[in-house]
Amino acid sequence: MALLRSFSTFTLLLLLLLSTTVISQPQPLLSPAEQDSVYRVLDSVNPHIPWRTLFPDDLCSYGPHGVVCDYFLQDGTDSSSAAQTVHVSELSFGYVSDFNPNPTCSPNATIIPLLFTAFPYLRKLFFYQCFNQATTVVSVPQIPASFGSGLEELVFIDNPSLVGPLSGILRYFTNLRRAVLTGNGVYGNIPDSVAELVNLEELTLSRNQLAGEIPISFAKLKKLKVLDLGGNSFAGKVPESVGSLSQLLKLDLSSNGFYGQIPESFKKLQRLELLDLSYNRFNNSGVPLFLSEMTQLRTVSLSGNMLGGQIPEIWNNLGGILGIGLSEMGLVGKIPASMGVYLRNVRYLGLDNNKLEGTVPQELGLLESVSEINLENNSLSGRVPFKIGHKMKLNGNPQLCVDLGSSFASGGFDKLKECNKQQKPNPAHLTVDSSSSSSSSVQVVVPSMLMATGFLSMIMLMLN
């Protein structure tokens, strides 16, 4: 018994001794040169803050938010001898929120070339609303080949006065997983060399000054999940090879000058949740039938193209769709009743500014999740066969009439005529109209929480 006790005391002492030895071993510090480089970059982003005074100690342990370090094994040492060094692995600038208080950028913030030479272990570089003075254009410095093979995330969001050619920015980053360059002054074409970034999972280039065509070589980006080129001046036909990006969840080509047919190969994008081709010049192919096979779709917009044709019967497998934009695209014919039957989760349905005719199908009244159905500016006619809430937009259909009496919601329909009380109900809806018990079941119920103001806000809602 005594032996056991003395043994365990000994073990305890030994453990204590060991742990103090471990603790007393010095943590590696950022080298003075790398520490100085961080100060210089901080000064370039905001010269009004006395960084050296505020953060005099090791910046890896006591630096500002946005400076992140990591431990690396020294080259040539195996893990048993474990000689570690510490280096800056992430740099983030631009105050995002109280939970993400990166260093604020001053109005005369710049990017100094040192940023691309002094941090060989950088994995992530992030600039948020740093360069937004209309009077001060900031150029992306030349990025040397020696930099960047370790970079995994490059994120520049809303820096409109930051300019540079895309070909110069994306070069050399062979390990890049996320390239998010949105709302900046990036210009030029997508270089063919982008196809060498084979680890790329997200390429978001929206709202820049980019032009040219999508390179065919894009097909090599097999890991791509997000491709967003919206709001640029891209043009030309979309290459069929985009359809071989089988991991894509989001494809946004909106607000560009793409034309020709929507590639048939898109039907291979079986995982796609968002397809936004709106406001281009896609022409003459109608609403693509292959949409019926994209069963994961949550949001689809083809608005503002010259596709024409009738709305096809493709909705029976698309019950997961939340938002549909088929506005301003030259649609003719009738609204299929099947849209009301199958699109049980739809919150936004835009069919406005087409040449749709015939009656409003009573089945649209069954869409209980909806917060807006926009049928404005078509040639619809007859009696609207259900009670309409204020989320139903019907103006600009001169042949349409509504029952404005006590049983219908009022307001917002001033441009619609009231149905003649003597008018025979539309024969197609005779059974429903004459049955008072079913009239409440076809009411458009509007969830107050989901006040989508339009298709774009729908998308924002879903992506956040």
Nearest distance from residue 310's CB to ligand NAG, in Å? Answer: 17
Q: Is the Cβ of residue 157 or residue 307 nearer to ligand NAG in the bound state? A: 307
Q: Is the Cβ of residue 52 or residue 222 nearer to ligand NAG in the bound state? A: 52
Interface size with ligand NAG, residues (CB under 6 A): 12
Question: Cα–Cα distance between 70 and 123 in angstroms, integer?
Answer: 10
Nearest distance from residue 352's CB to ligand NAG, in Å? Answer: 4
Question: Cα–Cα distance between 67 and 16 in angstroms, integer?
Answer: 34
Question: Cα–Cα distance between 397 and 87 in angstroms, integer?
Answer: 66
Site string for ligand NAG, 363-392 (x = CB under 6 A): -----------x-xx---------------
CB 118 within 8 A of CB 143: no
Nearest distance from residue 20's CB to ligand NAG, in Å? Answer: 47
CB 142 within 8 A of CB 165: no
Instruction: Concatenate the DSSP letters of all residues of 167-228 into one string.
Output: HHHSTT-TT-SEEEEEEEEEEEPPPGGGGG-TT--EEE--SSEEEE---GGGGG-TT--EEE
Question: Contact between 301 and ligand NAG (CB under 6 A)?
Answer: no
Closest CA to 299 of 178, 457, 453, 450: 457
Q: Is the Cβ of residue 282 or residue 342 nearer to ligand NAG in the bound state? A: 282
Residue ranges in 293-353 assigned as alpha helix (H): 338-342
DSSP state of 280: S
Which of 353, 354, 371, 378 binds ligand NAG (CB under 6 A)? It is 353
Q: Count the neighbouring beta carbons within 10 Å of the beta carbon of residue 410.
A: 11
Site string for ligand NAG, 81-120 (x = CB under 6 A): ---------------------------x------------
The first and second tokens of residue 365, run together, are 């009244």
Question: Contact between 213 and ligand NAG (CB under 6 A)?
Answer: no
DSSP state of 88: E
Which of positions 237-296 make contact with ligand NAG (CB under 6 A)? 259, 281, 283-284
Question: Contact between 236 and ligand NAG (CB under 6 A)?
Answer: no
Q: Is the Cβ of residue 292 or residue 381 nearer to ligand NAG in the bound state? A: 381
Question: Contact between 39 and ligand NAG (CB under 6 A)?
Answer: no
Q: Is the Cβ of residue 222 or residue 281 nearer to ligand NAG in the bound state? A: 281
The residue type found at 107 is P
Q: Is the Cβ of residue 244 or residue 261 nearer to ligand NAG in the bound state? A: 261
Q: Is the Cβ of residue 40 or residue 271 nearer to ligand NAG in the bound state? A: 40
Q: Is the Cβ of residue 47 or residue 101 nearer to ligand NAG in the bound state? A: 47
Taken in order 54, 58, 61, 65, the sign of the CA dihedral is positive
341: which residues sit within 8 A by CB, 6+ positions away?
315, 363, 366
Question: Cα–Cα distance between 64 and 60 in angstroms, integer?
Answer: 9
Nearest distance from residue 392's CB to ligand NAG, in Å? Answer: 12
Nearest distance from residue 150's CB to ligand NAG, in Å? Answer: 28
Nearest distance from residue 107's CB to ligand NAG, in Å? Answer: 7
The residue type found at 393 is K
Q: Tell me which residues touch ligand NAG (CB under 6 A).
A: 47, 108, 259, 281, 283-284, 352-353, 374, 376-377, 396
